[in-house]
């Protein structure tokens, strides 16, 4: 993963940190969608924890700075997706809420 900009890796680290707060096994199913929903709409409760405004602002700032978003692929690997491509993918997904 060292081919990515340090701030892109910082975004992945933050997203993984937030996932670990909400899921005992780490990155839960569709967490990238849940987190992006919170970036678009505001704080969300996931399991017994809130994705709060401070976390949302940090994720949004990093995502905009690196113009991308991380998604989990098979085998627990992560893929960096340009933000416009991610947004287009996000709006095509059926709601998970």
Q: What is the mean pLDDT of residues 4-15?
A: 95
Report which of 76, 94, 71, 75 is spatially closest to residue 11, judged by C-alpha positions: 71
Q: How far apart are CA 17 and CA 22, in angstroms?
A: 9
Tell me, what's the pLDDT at 96?
Answer: 62
Band of pLDDT at residue 47, cut at 50, 70 and 90: confident
What is the percent of the chain with per-residue pLDDT over 90, rounded to a whole number? Answer: 66
* Residue-range domain boundaries for the chain: 6-92
* 59-74 confidence digits (pLDDT tens): 999 999 999 999 999 8
Please give the model's pTM, rounded to 2 decimal places: 0.89
Instruction: Give mean pLDDT, residues 69-96.
Output: 89
HEC-encoded secondary structure of the chain? CCCCCHHHHHHHHHHHHHHHHHCCCCCCCCHHHHHHHHHHHCCEEECCEEECHHHHHHHHHHHHHHCEEEEECHHHCEEEEEHHHHHHHHHHCCCCC
For residue 4, the model assigns a pLDDT of 86
Dihedral sign (CA 33, 68, 59, 3):
positive
Region 45-69: what's the mean pLDDT? 94
Among the residue ranges 12-16, 28-32, 37-41, 78-82, the one predicted with the least confidence is: 28-32
- Selection from 68, 87, 85, 82 nearest residue 10 by Cα: 68
């Amino acid at each position: 993963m060292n081919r990515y900009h340090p701030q892109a890796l910082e975004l992945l680290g933050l997203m993984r940190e937030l996932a670990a707060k909400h899921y005992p096994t780490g990155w839960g199913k569709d967490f990238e969608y849940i987190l992006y929903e919170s970036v678009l709409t505001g704080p969300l409760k996931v399991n017994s924890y809130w994705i709060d405004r401070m976390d949302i602002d940090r994720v949004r700032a990093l995502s905009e700075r690196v113009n991308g978003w991380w998604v989990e692929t098979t085998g627990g690997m992560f893929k960096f997706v340009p933000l416009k491509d991610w947004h287009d993918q996000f709006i095509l997904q059926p709601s998970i809420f």
